[in-house]
Amino acid sequence: MASPGPSSFEKVLDGFRKRLSPQDTELFQLTTFDDLKSSIKRIETEQAARKGLRNLNKIKPFLNGLKQYAGVLEVFVQVKPEIIAFIWVSYRR
pLDDT: which is higher, 88 or 78:
78
CA-to-CA distance for 20 and 14, rounded, in angstroms?
10
CA-to-CA distance for 93 and 79, rounded, in angstroms?
25
pTM: 0.45
* Per-residue pLDDT at 3: 57
CA-to-CA distance for 51 and 27, rounded, in angstroms?
30
For residues 49-73, give the mean pLDDT. 79
**Where are the chain's structural domains?**
22-89
Note whether 88 and 31 are within 8 A (CB): yes
* pLDDT higher than 70, residue 91: no
Note whether 47 and 54 are within 8 A (CB): yes
Note whether 29 and 82 are within 8 A (CB): yes
